[in-house]
Structure 1
Amino acid sequence: MDWNWRKEHLDLVLVPSGLLIMFGYHLFLLYRYQRIPHKTTIGYENHFNVAWIERIMQVEAKDRGQALSVISSNITAATSLSSISLVLSSLIGTWIGSSTENIFTSNLVYGNTSPSVVSIKYITLLSCFLVAFACFVQTARLFVHANFLISMPNCKIPLSYIEKPVTTASAFWSIGIRALYFAIILLLWIFGPIPMFVSSVIMVVTLHILDSNSTELHEFQPTPSDNSFDKIGKEMTAVTRGYWTP
């Protein structure tokens, strides 16, 4: 009786602990981003995004084809991930509607295998994929809006009009990726609370390494023009002047 009690209540200890570790780390990451953004990868990438927008808007609209290609690549990536999240959500929804008598409720899973707990596992996993889907859809929408603004001809557009959708799209992208990270540990919860807790610890350690930045922010200054034809023209003008000078 004591063995069954420990096995069934293991989820009550390890699962909240794993989720607390994940949520606690992301609150710590948000605090670091608000106080010292240059020490985080998110702030580092946002710095590059703003510098990229400033340089792109200095170019005429007809010469911004390369910028539109970059935006289109981001739209394609967001659309692909949103499609994957939607497909996985559909599969999980179908799985919930099917019989729960499968390998995940067998004795191979060390933890609570009651139908109610199994349903909670699937529902939380489904919620993560739906959040990821919504975030990636918003990412694509904002990049499309930025695409329209960048390609607008014969109009001087304030930089803030483009910086806001691009940085917001990057934020939605980050949230969508984090939702997939949560989905990974919840997916391992299906195999038991122990794999879920271990994966949470490993995930936090890995994310702390990936989210930390030690590279100094570079101030992107425009390079001096180096047009060879202008140099040749200046040299010919100097020679001509020297030739006709008495």
Structure 2
Amino acid sequence: MEWRNFYLDLILVPSAILSSLFYHVWLWYTVKRRPDRTYIAMNAAGQSAWINHILTDNDKKNVLAIQTLRNNIMGATLTATTSVLICCGLLAFASKDYDADKPDKLKIESKCSFLLLAFLSVFLCQTLSIACLTQVNILINILAGDTTPVRRYRVTELLGKGIFLCNVGNRVFFSTLPLVLWIFGPVLVFVCSVGVVVVLYSVDVVGDEKGAVGAEGGGMVQP
């Protein structure tokens, strides 16, 4: 029975991780080669246009710019806070005194250590994203001045970095969340990971083959 559990861990858990990894490799390739098929490329192409639109009449749209960036910061803060809470729960679970023998406790601690590393990576990405978006929050209204030393393309680049880091953090979070169920067995991990990939595909891919962003669309295209 012990060998069977080890065999399932050895097969299903790496398969779950690889399914998410292969999907994101395919998504990155699609964003680069077929940007008209993904919402990520659509949003990236609209970043520069959004800044230009805000600066067209900054006196009336400066509050809109701050509110839009604030919503992105709130989303990143929510994911970062959730990751920290999960890490605290994992630490409390791993430090608990078990009645099980030492090998089982070592196995549980190894699983918790892997999950802690993943969720701390999510926290790092989201906090860096918040830092970038906070700088954009300050600089977006300075661009409207005539004597500002800040260049528009620099703010656009900073906005792209912030959104990119937020996307990376969210992807790692969604891909790692099914691994929390690893404590209860590898079958749930595999099933939930496949379900997450299906959900992400429905969110990422444009339903219409013609898409809304052509190859000539400008802006920064980042996975």
Instruction: State, as a whole percentage, how many aligned pairs show the same letter.
Output: 27
Equivalence for 1:196 = 189
Deviation larger for 165-174 or 54-63: 54-63
CA contact (8 A) 1:57 1:159 kept: no
Q: 1:217 aligns with which of 208, 213, 216?
A: 213
Equivalence for 2:113 = 123
| TM-superposed deviation, 1:62 | 7.0
| TM-superposed deviation, 1:67 | 0.9
Deviation digits for residues 163-222 of structure 1 (CA, Å, limit 9, x no counterpart): 1111111111111111211222101211101111111222222212211023313899xx
| TM-superposed deviation, 1:142 | 0.6
Return the alpha-carbon distance in structure 2 between the equivalents of residues 4 and 88 of structure 1. 28
What amino acid is aligned across from residue 139 of structure 2 in structure 1? L
CA contact (8 A) 2:12 2:190 kept: yes
Give the unaligned 5+ runs of structure 1: 107-112, 221-246
Distance of aligned partners of 1:61 and 1:164 in 2 relative to their CA distance in 1, 3 Å threshold: farther
- Within 5 A, what are the aligned runs for 1:45-194? 45-60=43-58, 63-101=61-99, 114-152=104-142, 154-155=145-146, 157-194=150-187
User: If you compute each CA radius of gyration, which structure gives the higher value, 1 or 2?
Assistant: 1
- Tell me the number of residue pairs that the alignment of Structure 1 and Structure 2 aligns: 209
Return the alpha-carbon distance in structure 2 between the equivalents of residues 16 and 34 of structure 1. 27
Return the alpha-carbon distance in structure 1 between the equivalents of residues 197 and 63 of structure 2. 39
Higher RCO by CA contacts (8 Å cutoff, separation 6 or greater): 2
Question: TM-score scaled by structure 2?
Answer: 0.84
Structure 2 residue matching 1:9: 3-state secondary structure: helix
| TM-superposed deviation, 1:51 | 1.5
What amino acid is aligned across from residue 18 of structure 1 in structure 2? A
Q: Give the root-mean-square deviation of aligned CA atoms.
A: 2.4
Equivalence for 1:244 = none
CA contact (8 A) 1:128 1:182 kept: no
Return the alpha-carbon distance in structure 2 between the equivalents of residues 38 and 9 of structure 1. 42
CA contact (8 A) 1:124 1:186 kept: no
Structure 1 residue matching 2:184: 3-state secondary structure: coil
CA contact (8 A) 2:13 2:186 kept: yes
CA contact (8 A) 1:78 1:136 kept: yes
Distance of aligned partners of 1:100 and 1:178 in 2 relative to their CA distance in 1, 3 Å threshold: farther
Question: TM-score scaled by structure 1?
Answer: 0.76
What amino acid is aligned across from residue 94 of structure 2 in structure 1? I
